Amino acid sequence: MDGKKQFVMDRGSKKPLDIKGITKADLEDRFKPGHGMVKVGGEVLDMFNEALPTIQNDLVALGAFDDPNVLFNMEYVSGKTNVQDYGSNFIAIHGLNKMETKEVQGKRQMLTKRFSTEFNYDKTALQSLLNNLAPIAKKRGFEVYGSVPTEMTSKPNFSSALSKQYTVVSNKEDKTQSLDKWLNELNLIPKDSFIFMNVNSTKKKVGAVSKQVYLAILKGENVDILFEDEDDKQKAINGFVTYLATEKLGDEVLKVLDSPMGSVENHEGVVIRDKKISNKPFKITGKFILGGLTSDF
């Protein structure tokens, strides 16, 4: 921007605008008309660009000022931005990630993939940035949060979720059993598998672990009609069980978590950062795994 630094967005895809960085002027080229990110993206970029002189020293300390591959892992909520109505406007910066591009071996050829991972950054510098950003955000009616601590008010009631019955419909039989039994039969999560699904009289290539597969089976569509290949059919059922457990067991965790922003059950999820559980942060979303279907995003 006239030789000066500015903030840009990156959705992590291989689209040229993501690789270049999406400026405010690029938003309507990157997203379809009416997409929620056009308005919100512009507000985010305006806010951060206004704050740039104030937070420059913090960006230098974080290694972000001269490295365009460093990203803020953040959420921006204006009332009812996604699905949940929070009753207030806020920015939550969960941490800093670094974007990388790598060549990985696919089934038939080498593939180029972009992905981001959290790196070891100066937590004090991030808190300083949050403190310096807060007054500028407040002028625009937003609060600023970093990692919001949560605590369990009781143990999750997994047995309640595990005992509920779910049915998979097929030509041979309608198989109904508890989530616990479905999970005991899950020998492999097909997270990287693609299968062919009959959609509107055409074969569509979909992820075995995907919302489309999950919803079709959950709503009682016949797996023998949806998937002609026996291997695809089993992968689809495994993907369905994976999604089902992720949603239902996630809900039980969120129900017993509390935070300074209120009960986490009423929020869109929680990021788990605990080396005793996982070396990488991960998110528990519960019912929002489907709630996003009603969003402008």
Predicted confidence at residue 4, as pLDDT, reads 85
Backbone angles phi, psi at 293, to 5 degrees: -65, -20
Query: For position 1, what pLDDT does the model report?
Result: 52
Q: pLDDT value at position 118?
A: 87
Identify the pLDDT of residue 217: 97
How much is the pLDDT for 288? 78
pLDDT value for 296: 38
Cβ distance 118 to 73 under 8 Å? yes
Q: Is 211 exposed, middle or buried (0-12, 13-18, 19+ CB in 10 A)?
A: middle
Q: How many residues does the chain have?
A: 297
d(Cα 121, Cα 63) in Å, to the nearest integer?
8
Which residues of the chain fall below pLDDT 50? Answer: 81-85, 293-297
| 24 Cβ contact partners less than 8 Å away, ≥ 6 residues apart | 41, 42, 45, 46
Cβ atoms of residues 167 and 220 within 8 Å: yes
State how far the Cα of 83 lies from the Cα of 268, in Å rounded to an integer: 8
pTM given for the model? 0.65
